[in-house]
Amino acid sequence: MIDISFAEHTASGTNAKAKSSPDSWVALVAEEGKLSPAAVALDKQTGGAVVAAVASGKFKGKKGQALTLVAPHGLPVARLVLLGIGKEKEFDALAAQSAGGKLAAHLDGAAAKKAKVIVETLGETKHPVAEIAAHLAYGAALRGYRFDKYHTTRKPDELPTLEAIEFALKDAKAAAKHYSALEKIVAAVYTTRDLVSEPANIIYPQTFADKCKELTKLGVEVEVLGVKEMTKLGMGSLLGVGQGSAKESKLVVMQWRGGTGKAEAPLAFVGKGVTFDTGGISIKPANGMEEMKWDMGGAGAVFGLMKALAGRKAKVNVVGVAGMVENMPDGNAQRPGDVVTSMSGQTIEVLNTDAEGRLVLADALWYAQERFKPRLVIDLATLTGAIIVALGTSRAGLFSNNDALAEQLAEAGKKSGEDVWRLPLGDVYDKQIDSQIADMQNIGADREAGSITAAQFLQRFIKNKETPWAHLDIAGVAWTKKDLDTAPKGAMEFGVRLLNQLVADFYE
């Protein structure tokens, strides 16, 4: 993790004393080459090198651009970086996160070790400088994540170099205070990414449950139900998925009681936790199957959310439920055509054992409602490949029985940078999962609207139809195959920041 700090400086320019002895200074430049006061001062110190650099090349201060002046004349540093922020009036918290992430990647690519960023507004942004600095730091910290614990032979020039970034501004204390809450989110994001990145021989139902137990240090109450307890509860839908694995299935229950009224009904978040998905008897193709270690991304996000809320002492009662299974094809595995009975009493004809996530969620959703009587229920799951066809990898699919909740999630998505897009539900889709021999089947009658019929299946396990419910299909956003502004290639934590924003804005 990049070490983040904040330092005071009282005048435009470069007179801030950096605690980290930086080898790089960074100044902000807006679109059309408009320089921040610090950049103007640096231009004078370098004999006009900053203005000349902006005028002579393609760098125009656009969003995401960065320009490095190596060994700048008149400055006691190895490099001066000009960071483009785009249009001033559009430079908000989310844009600052993106810029901070781009900066961290750029500095690391330039082999910088320590940097000082001089943060000054250019005059038009409506956001306080302290808030902008905190979100620049937030973005840099998110982008600085690495999962390299299994590398043992990497050469020094292949290792990340960036160790620390110091943000210098007039009100460093306010920036540090603002960042202190964001830092808790960073910690939750990192742990979630670690969980999703781990191979399936390391993270399986029991070890995931063990990781969840660590949240007790933050005040979260954690319970773990095994096969014996779930059998007694009648969770035939969840248990059917895991019966072909040597790893025992688990149901993890996490409670955070931060609300002013301890008896107040909680918010319930439910996650699909398939720690590895072979597809079962309906086995997947070998090509790409190694990626199925991240089929527990929904449960990982619920874990991360609980860590974030507890870490920042959120004033709300929340319960997180994670159904943890491994879907394997041994001699005891569930077969296509089997009929299972869910905790709700409803029967399910399993036509495809690779449509297993909805079977796990069916019992986890019912358990959360039966036991906790929540104010609302939101589930997250890497549920369908169809959602990737529909929406690509830029946003999650959103399904809901409640317009107000759907609008809240959409707003939280825009603010957090984890976007969602609402898709429809309706009787015409629901009829497609009717079964001839059971109450329902676990896939639609044909291949059309696969994400929607999956959501319709889940809706049948919302006990009280008046309970606000939303389903987030995160199959396209749980993992990234390319570097993003605030995340390197690999595991994402989609849902942690989104749902933390939802809770903070609407339910605390």
For the annotated catalytic residues, the residue numbers are 284, 358
CA distance 382 to 179: 31
Q: What is the CA radius of gyration of the chain?
A: 25
Tell me the helix, strand and coil percentages in the chain, rounded to 5: 40, 20, 40
Q: Closest Cα partner for 490 from 29, 47, 150, 70?
A: 150
Sign of CA dihedral 488, 493, 494, 500: negative
Distances in whole angstroms, Cα of residue 495 to Cα of each of 64, 305, 426, 498:
24, 8, 25, 5
CA distance 284 to 280: 8
CA distance 321 to 336: 27
Terminus-to-terminus CA distance in the chain, angstroms? 29
Cβ-based neighbours of 160, under 8 Å, separated by 6 or more: 108, 144, 146
CA distance 106 to 100: 10
CA distance 426 to 137: 44
| Burial class, 448, CB count within 10 angstroms (exposed 0-12 / middle 13-18 / buried 19+) | exposed
Residue count of the chain, please give it. 508
What residues does 378 pair with on adjacent strands?
269, 470
Phi, psi (degrees; rounded to nearest 5) at 295: -75, 5
What DSSP letter does each residue of 167-206 carry, written as one string? Answer: EEETTHHHHHHHHHHHHHHHHHHHHHHHHHHS-TTTSSHH
- The CB density around residue 117, as the number of other CB atoms within 10 Å, is 30
CA distance 166 to 150: 30
Cβ-based neighbours of 51, under 8 Å, separated by 6 or more: 35, 43
Cβ-based neighbours of 97, under 8 Å, separated by 6 or more: 135, 136, 138, 139, 142, 417, 485, 486
How are beta strands 3-8 and 490-491 bridged, if at all?
unpaired
Strands (E), 119-163: none
